[in-house]
Structure 1
Amino acid sequence: MLFDIFRNFIHYGFHFLMPIAFGYLFWRKNWKLAALIMIATMAIDLDHLLADPIFAPERCGIGFHPLHSFWAAVVYVVLLFMPSWKLKAIAVGCLFHLFTDSVDCYMGSLKKEMNSPITLSLVTEQCPLGMPNIKKPQ
């Protein structure tokens, strides 16, 4: 439960708060507009509508959805080299979106690992100090 709260805080904090920080850091003169542009890159999640089911909590979107693919990332990197700061803000927003979703995928794999029967079977009984005795896998 606590892990899920932390995971969601990281995921949505990165999606909505980091663009504000990036906007202020990279485009101080236009930081509010830059932040809005980067938050608007959340629109790349519209590619989830192409999936069946649309939302699967155990699925990692990186490499699965078209706008979360390697080739989409290549396009986002190319946008970094365009002269317009707005295109650069779009690129940073999309690339950071992919990074954020990658972190979420990693945290999802940690949760699966924490809940796996193999991991749970390693803990046997409590030591006197409250620490679990760990037995080696056989």
Structure 2
Amino acid sequence: MLRFLLHYGIHFLVPPLVAFLFFRPKWFKITLILWAGILIDLDHLLANPIFDPDRCSIGFHPLHSYVMVAVYLILLGFRKTRIFGLALLIHILADACDCLFLRFQL
């Protein structure tokens, strides 16, 4: 239950918090963009089975690969892509926490 709450809490509660704290004048629009980071889960459609609760997404799915995480970090360095990079990294953070729960069987 804690794994579920942490994973989806990061996905759905961290974006509005980040938007409100750092992008207050446009917090609602930024929240929507940050929530859109969940769209990288479309790469799960390439896996068989599509969903496996005991599989770590990081390093398994194409948009969750270490190379793509590096790309998301690079996006932070440019003003026009910063929000998108942040959205994708928040998603990766949520999935990484999930992987830690799997790894240590918490």
TM-score, with structure 2 as normaliser: 0.93
Q: Does 1:41 align with 2:37?
A: yes
**Structure 2 residue aligned with 1:110:** 104
- Deviation track 1:47-83 (CA, whole Å, cap 9, x = no partner) reads 0001111111111010000110111111111111112
Greater than 6 Å deviation, 4+ residue runs? none
Name the CA distance, whole Å, in 2 between partners of 1:32 and 1:54: 31
Residue 53 (structure 2) pairs with residue 57 (structure 1): yes
What is the match of residue 93 of structure 2?
A: 99
Secondary structure class of the residue paired with 1:22:
helix
The one-letter code of the counterpart of 1:8 is F
Higher strand share: 1
* Identity, % of aligned positions: 43
Structure number with the bigger relative contact order (C-alpha 8 A, sep ≥ 6) is 2
1:22 aligned partner: 18
May I ask how many residue pairs the two structures share in their alignment? 106
RMSD of Structure 2 on Structure 1 (CA): 1.2
CA distance in 2, matches of 1:41, 1:96: 8
Question: Where does structure 1 lack aligned partners over 5 or more consecutive residues?
Answer: 115-138
Q: Find the partner of 1:89 among 72, 83, 87.
A: 83
Structure number with bigger Rg = 1
The two structures have a TM-score, normalised by structure 1, of 0.73
Q: Secondary structure at the match of 1:61?
A: coil
> 1:11 corresponds to which letter in structure 2?
H
